[in-house]
Amino acid sequence: MTGSRTGKSLTKYKIVFLGEQGVGKTSLITRFMYDTFDDHYQATIGIDFLSKTMYLDDKTIRLQLWDTAGQERFRSLIPSYIRDSHVAIVVYDVTNKKSFEYIDKWVEDVKSERGEENVVLCIVGNKNDLADERQVSTEEGERKAQVLNAKIFIETSTKAGFNVKNLFRKIAKTLPEFQKSDTVPLDDKFPANKPDVIDITTNNDDEEQTSCQC
């Protein structure tokens, strides 16, 4: 029975956020979820979880966002969460060269857990609004993404709300749900009007993004 009495079928996708401490993993999620930004830094303890229903191209999916702590002492927990993730987003801070260099280690962790093919690997350069403090150029980021065989590279600014929806739209488009052309829309009503759904069909942050789809 697929009637409304038993709800709608909804595919869930696990996305794990990785990266050094303070690169903006939590703020990336907060910007996507609530479209807000908090200036006060608060370290994540353990692993945080948030989930959101997302609407794109007449299809609705459920994203489970696993926000990992960047602190060293929580590192041992992270592989257990990469183990069954569909998407791994490795975040670095464009104003912090070291966080960029550590990408390799994170990607290695992802590949050792999920292999090369079973995961959508994204590399995200955050804080790109801080142009004066930039230590990693966009080209460097793109090159690294190519070398690491990342499917998506994008620079974002969670503070300015730049490219955040774009990132999730790109991720969504790589998911099997959006690869199948014959998939029937899951909801005949336009669900973007519903309060618990994020509609990323319309590009609200229309800024011209300086990124490449590797």
Partner 1 sequence: MDFLDYQTYALGDSSENDNQLPEPASRLKFQSQRSFVELDKPFTLPSSKPTEFINDNNGTLQEKMQRYASMSLDQLGSAATSLLTGADLPVPFGGALPRDGNLKQLLESSDSTPNSADSLLSKKLSRVLGAHGRPSSISAAQLEKSFMILEDNRENLNFHSQAITRPDFVGSLARKSLRSALENELLRSHLTLIEDIQPIVGRIKRLTPPITTIKHISDEILHGSSCNKKDSALNMEGIYALRKKMKELQLQKQLLSIIREKLTLTQVEEEALINAPIDTDFFEVVNKLMRIKETSSHLLALENPKAGQSLLQQTNMKLSGASKRIYNYLINFFYDLQSASKTFGERAFASDDRSLINFQKSMIYMSNDLPLFNEVLKKIVRLRSQRVLDDFLSQFDVDPSKNSRPIVMSAHDPVRYLGDVLAHVHSLIVDEADFMNSMFKFQDLKIEGTPKSVLQENGDYLNGLGTNLLNETFKPAENSIRIRLEQIIRFEDDPSINFDICELLKLYQMMFIKYGIDPEGSFIRQLNTLKNNSGDKVMSGLLTLMNEHVPEEKIGLELLPSDWLLNYMTNLCKILSKIEKSGNAETSNYLIESDFLQKTLDTLIIERLPQYYQTHFPLAKKDKEEKVKLLIFEINSLDLILTRLLPFGLILDGHESGCRKELQNAIKTLVTLESGVLLERLGMDIYSNLLNMIFPIDSVEDELDYDMYLPVSENPIMKIETIRANVYDKLNGNLPNLNSDVQDALVLNVVSPTIADEIANSCFKNLSKFYKVFRETLVRLYPNSIDDIFSILNFTSEDFDTIVGVV
Q: Which residues bind to partner 1, rule: CB under 8 A?
A: 1-2, 4-12, 14, 45-47, 49, 51, 53, 62, 64, 71-74, 76-77, 79-81, 83-84, 187, 191, 194-197
Listed residue (164, 153, 121) closest to 24, CA to CA: 164
d(CA 106, CA 104): 5
CB of 117 to partner 1, least distance (A): 11
- Per-residue HEC secondary structure of 134-155 comes to CCCCHHHHHHHHHHCCCCEEEE
CB of 109 to partner 1, least distance (A): 12
Residue 75 or 105 having the CB closest to partner 1: 75
CB of 8 to partner 1, least distance (A): 6
Interacting residues of 52 by C-beta distance below 8 A, sequence separation 6+:
32, 33, 62, 63, 65, 196, 197, 198
Residue 40 or 73 having the CB closest to partner 1: 73
Phi/psi at 15 (5° precision): -125, 125
Residue 48 or 205 having the CB closest to partner 1: 48
Residue 201 or 209 having the CB closest to partner 1: 201
